[in-house]
């Protein structure tokens, strides 16, 4: 994110997931909206996997950067599935 502001401001495109919101039902929330902050899940994230916890940190870093004025687009995907790791790598390279 710092690199995006070294010479000139470049927009950040960030691909995320909804993993940080998975356990929100523990605090009584049953729906997620586009404007929901990752801060909603701070209590539930303690009971999540390492993936969701690291995703929370990354999402928080991006939202802080956006709050500080960097233009960014965040895409939160629900589920990303692939049959084989090799197939995924091939698609990413092509």
pLDDT at 92: 65
pLDDT at 4: 61
Tell me the backbone φ, ψ of residue 20, rounded to 5 degrees: -70, -20
Quote the mean pLDDT of the chain. 77
Sign of the dihedral defined by the CA atoms of residues 79, 69, 8, 54, in that order: negative
State pTM to two decimals. Answer: 0.68
Mean pLDDT, residues 2-25 taken together? 76
pLDDT at 82: 59
- Share of the chain residues as helix, strand and coil, in percent rounded to the nearest 5: 50, 15, 40
Mean pLDDT, residues 29-45 taken together? 77
CB 80 within 8 A of CB 50: no
Q: Which residue has the higher pLDDT, 49 or 89?
A: 49
């Amino acid at each position: 994110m710092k690199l995006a502001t070294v010479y000139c401001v470049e927009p950040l495109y960030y691909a995320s997931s909804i993993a940080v919101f998975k356990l929100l039902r523990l605090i009584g929330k049953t729906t997620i909206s586009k404007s929901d902050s990752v801060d909603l899940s701070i209590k539930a994230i303690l009971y999540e996997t390492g993936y969701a916890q690291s995703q929370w940190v990354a999402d928080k870093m991006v939202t802080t950067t956006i709050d500080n004025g960097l233009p960014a687009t965040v895409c939160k995907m629900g589920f990303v599935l692939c049959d084989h790791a090799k197939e995924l790598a091939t698609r990413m390279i092509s």
